[in-house]
Structure 1
Amino acid sequence: MSETLPDLHRAAGVLFDLDGVLTPTAEVHMRAWQHVFDDVLARWGVTEPYSDADYFAYVDGKKRYDGVASMLRSRNIEIPWGEVTDPPQAETVCGIGNRKNAAFAAALRSEGIAPFPGSLALLEQLRAAGVPMGVVSSSKNAQEVLGSAGIRDFFTVVVDGVVAERDHLASKPAPDMFAEGARMLGVEPSVAVAVEDAVAGVASAAAAGYAVVVGVDRGAGPQALRAAGATGIVDDLSRLLAGASH
C-alpha cells in the first residue's frame, strides 16, 4: 500500500477489534452464521439466500442479537426478541443468536485458533515499546478466543459482548464500546488508535473520536471502510510493523 500509515509504536494507546483483526475467527463466525441463516431462511420459505454480502452489511462487528435482528429486518422479517436464556431451538432473535453461538463454540473447540502472524508480530513490537493495548470486540466469546490464541496477556483491557451487555453499551456502530475501551485504558480517544476490519467497528471508533482509525480490509472493501471513517487501510497488520515498507 502506498499511503502513509501511522506509527503505532508512538501511540498513547491502541484498541484492537479481535475477529478478523487479531485472529482469523471471522471466518469461523461467517461459517456459523451461514449455517444458521441458511437453515432459518429455508424453513421459513425465504427465497433470497443469505450471502457473504449480508454478513458484511448486517452482521459483521455488531453484537450477536443486533446482527440477527438486522439481518432478518433486511428480509422484512420481524420475530420476538426473546430472552438471552432462550434455548438455541427457540424461534426468537435470542434463540437464533444462541444457535449461532453454539455452532461457533463447537467449531472453535474442535479446530482451535491461532493469531494472524502479522498481528502477533505487531503485538510483540508494541508490547516491547510499552504501548498500552486493549481489545474492543462485540463477541461474547472474546476471552475464550484470546485464551485459545495465546494472546490474552498482551491486553490490560478487554471490552467485549459480555461487558457491553452488563454495562448497557450500545452495539457498534454506536461509539459506546470504543469510548469505554479508551476510558478503561486510561487514554483519550483523540490521541489513541483503533484497528478494525468491520464497517460497523470503524464507524464506532470514528464516532468515539479516535485520532487514527486503521481499517483492515479482510473483505469489507477499502471504499466501505473509508466511508465509515477509516483514516488508513491495510490488508494485514504486518504493514504496521516498524520498518515495514508501506
Structure 2
Amino acid sequence: MDWDTYDAALFDLDGVLTPTAEVHMRAWRELFVDFLTTRGLTDAPYTERDYFDHIDGKPRYDGVRSFLASRGVPLADGDPTDGPDVQTVCGLGNRKNAFFAAVLADEGVLPYPGSVALLDFLAERRTAVAVVSSSRNAPAVLEAAGLAERFELVVDGTVAAQEGLAGKPSGATYVYAAQQLGVPVERAVVFEDALSGVEAGRDGGFGLVVGVDRGVGVDRLTAAGADIVVADLAELVGDGTASSTAEPRP
C-alpha cells in the first residue's frame, strides 16, 4: 500500500480499533432474544447473521428499525428520552445502550494491537486521522481504550445528529470528517468492518476503502465496496501487504 497517495485515515471504531463490536453484539442479542421471546415470535429467532445484516455499523435506532422490519414487526418510534423499558424503537435502543455501557464500565476495553501499530505508523508519517462512528459511545470507548488523545477529530452519533448528517450506509459522516480535516475524499482512506460502513466509504467516493474482516467475510465486504480486505490493520504498516480484492480507485 502506497501511503504517499493518502493524506488522511478515517477509522470506524467498534471492530476496527477496538473489539467493542463483540460487546455490541452481546447487547443486541440480549435485547432481541428477550424481545422476540416476550412477544412469542420464536419462529424466526435472533441469530448472529441478523447483527451483520441489519444492525452492524448503523446508528442505534436505525439498527432497531432494520431488525424489526426484517421480522415484519411494527413498533412506534417513540422519543430518544424513552426509558429502556418502553416498547418503542427508541426505548429498545436505549435498553441496548444501557447494557453496553454497563459492560464497558465493568470490563473495560483494550484496542487491537495491530490497530495501535498502524496508528503509530501514521503518527510518524504525520497522516491526519479521525474516528467516524455511528455510536454515541465513541468518546467513552476511546477514553477507556487509551486512544482519545490520538485523534484530532471524532465524528460520532452525537455530532451526526447535531450536524444533520445521515448515518451509514450514507457517506455523509465520512465526507464531513474529511472536510473538517481539509483533505479531499480521494486523498483519504476509510477503514471499516461493517457492510454499512464499507458502503458509506463507497458512497462518499473515497480514494480507498479498506475492509477489516472481523467476521463478515471477505466476499461480502468486497461486494459492499471494499477495495482491499485485511484481517488485521498491522498488515498495512510500512511495506505490509493486504489481500487485494479489487483494484484501488483511480
Q: How does 1:44-193 map to 2 (within 5 A)?
A: 44-47=39-42, 48-193=44-189
3-state DSSP of counterpart to 1:225: helix
What is the Cα-based RMSD across aligned positions, in Å? 1.0
Residue 21 of structure 2 corresponds to which residue in structure 1? 26
**Whose RCO is larger (CA < 8 A, sep 6+)?**
1
Deviations 1:16-36 (A, max 9, x none): 000000000000000000001
Distance 1:8 1:77 in 2: 47
Q: Any conservation in 2 of the 1:9–1:126 contact (CA below 8 Å)?
A: no
Deviation at 1:91, TM superposition (A): 0.2
- Which runs of structure 1 show a deviation greater than 3 angstroms over 4 or more consecutive aligned residues? 7-10
The TM-score with structure 2 as length reference comes to 0.94
Distance 1:77 1:192 in 2: 40
Pair 1:245–1:230, CA change in 2 (3 A): closer
Offset of residue 9 of structure 1: 6.2
Structure 1: 5+ residue runs without aligned partners? 1-5
* C-alpha distance in 1 between matches for 2:240 and 2:220: 25
Q: Which residue of structure 2 aligns with residue 3 of structure 1?
A: none
Report what 1:36 is aligned to. Answer: 31
Alpha-carbon distance, 1:243 to partner: 3.3
Between the two proteins, what is the percent identity of the paired residues? Answer: 50
Question: SS state of the match for residue 214, structure 1?
Answer: strand
Shift of 1:190: 1.0
Contact 2:166–2:173 under 8 Å retained in 1? yes
**How many Å separate the matches in 2 of 1:192 and 1:139?**
21
Note the 1:7-18 alignment, pairs <5 A.
Answer: 7-8=2-3, 11-18=6-13
Residue correspondences, number? 241
